[in-house]
Amino acid sequence: MRKLKNYAVILLFLAFTGVSYAQDKPTLSITIDDPHVNDAVVMSWQEKDDSLLSTLDKYGLKAALFVCGMRIDSPDGKLLLEKWNDRGHLICNHTYSHKYYHSKKLSVEDFEYDFLRCDSIIMGYTGYTKLFRYPYLKEGNTIEKRDGFRSFLDSLGYKNGYVTIDASDWYIDGRMIDTLKADRTFDVKPFLQYYLEHIYNRAMYYDSLGYALTGRHIKHTLLLHHNLVNAMFLGELLDMFKAKGWQLTDAVTAFSDEVFLQQPDILPAGESLIWAMAKQSGRFEGTLRYPAEDGEYEIEGLNKKLKSYFQK
């Protein structure tokens, strides 16, 4: 079995250490990365965007939108941001160019410039919120890069827009788009099924790991992307979490949880906040994989789901 296949290993750890995993309701908020204005095979960008916004409206949720400047640096991009801003969602910084901060070619100064370039685009919106999310959740692979940019953020009054529940919705989205490009009539139900199973598995894993670390259910921030799979299935995802006893809340409420004050002392820095806290604790070395989430972990499972679905 691959490491972290599911959350059972953490529940076993809790039982072994005598900690009871309380069954009171965990809390979930939605954060969405990389809004963009590209069409997606069966939906125009406007249809995709409207679907995400209408779903959030239906459930009365306000998300945090983490903006990569280059993806919305156009008249259409400005329109997209205006719509999210007018609906009361948080408008947050995700750099301009979405560069990989662990690259040897990227200095702290370069990264600061890229951050400021994005900030100049989003700071005029009423929903502008001083939360920053690192591209790929990579926060620096040296002390100089990690602490240098943390100091820079602090000087501007910015907080880290941490993810607590990381997942690979982007991988499922890419596979589904490739499939639909080949056949627009393809039945997407197996993609929906795998999407729901995958994200719930990761949510339960990170919640149980967070409980082992803090002794409580923290308020979670789920990482999703502004893509087709979420435009099509976000409603089903939220229904599933509600049916399984999770509470839904606004992103601003989730980010008020004191857990987001943490700055884990690890190198390389990054991943989910919960993963980083677990790494810092030294208690879970036998179960933590690196990177914490990646598409390669999902290839086998999604292939099996597609195969079994069409063999019925």
CATH code of residue 271: 3.20.20.370
- Count how many residues are written for the chain: 312
According to the model, what pLDDT value does residue 130 have?
98
Average pLDDT over residues 15-39: 81
d(CA 48, CA 39): 8
- pLDDT 10s digits, 165-213: 999 999 999 999 999 999 999 999 999 999 999 999 999 999 999 999 9
**Poorest-confidence range of 8-17, 73-82, 146-155?**
8-17
d(CA 174, CA 49): 17
**Structural domains counted in the chain:** 1
Kindly state whether residue 73 falls inside one of the protein's structural domains: yes
d(CA 221, CA 241): 13
In degrees, to the nearest 5, what angle opens at C-alpha 213 toward C-alphas 208 and 218? 65
For residue 311, what pLDDT band results from cuts at 50, 70 and 90? confident
Terminal-residue alpha carbon distance, the chain: 26
According to the model, what pLDDT value does residue 4 have?
43
Both structure tokens of 94? 């995700």
Q: Which residue type does 103 have? A: S
d(CA 101, CA 105): 9
Both structure tokens of 259? 């857990």
Both structure tokens of 106? 């990227």
Higher pLDDT, 277 or 18: 277
Q: Is the pLDDT confidence value at 14 over 60? A: no
According to the model, what pLDDT value does residue 24 have?
78
According to the model, what pLDDT value does residue 28 have?
98
Kindly state whether residue 11 falls inside one of the protein's structural domains: no
Range of the domain at 301: 25-311
Kindly state whether residue 236 falls inside one of the protein's structural domains: yes
Q: Is the pLDDT confidence value at 78 over 80? A: yes
In whole angstroms, how far apart are CA 46 and each of 4, 26, 56, 72, 200?
37, 33, 15, 13, 28
| DSSP structural state of residue 42 | T
Kindly state whether residue 7 falls inside one of the protein's structural domains: no
Cβ pair 48, 40 in contact under 8 A: yes
- pLDDT 10s digits, 147-171: 999 999 999 999 999 999 999 999 9
Q: Is the pLDDT confidence value at 2 over 90? A: no
Q: Is the pLDDT confidence value at 127 over 90? A: yes
Both structure tokens of 178? 């490739």
Kindly state whether residue 156 falls inside one of the protein's structural domains: yes
According to the model, what pLDDT value does residue 15 have?
46
Q: Which residue type does 104 have? A: K
Look over the chain and give the mean of its residue pLDDT values, rounded to a whole number: 94
In degrees, to the nearest 5, what angle opens at C-alpha 228 toward C-alphas 291 and 240? 75
Which strand (E) or helix (H) includes residue 263? none
Which percentage of the chain shows pLDDT scores above 70? 92
Kindly state whether residue 71 falls inside one of the protein's structural domains: yes
Average pLDDT over residues 250-260: 98
Q: Which residues contact 22 (CB under 8 A, 6 or more apart)?
A: 211, 216, 217
d(CA 45, CA 228): 9
According to the model, what pLDDT value does residue 292 have?
98
Map residue 306 onto helix, strand or coil: helix
Kindly state whether residue 255 falls inside one of the protein's structural domains: yes
Average pLDDT over residues 31-49: 98
Kindly state whether residue 174 falls inside one of the protein's structural domains: yes
According to the model, what pLDDT value does residue 286 have?
87
According to the model, what pLDDT value does residue 238 have?
98
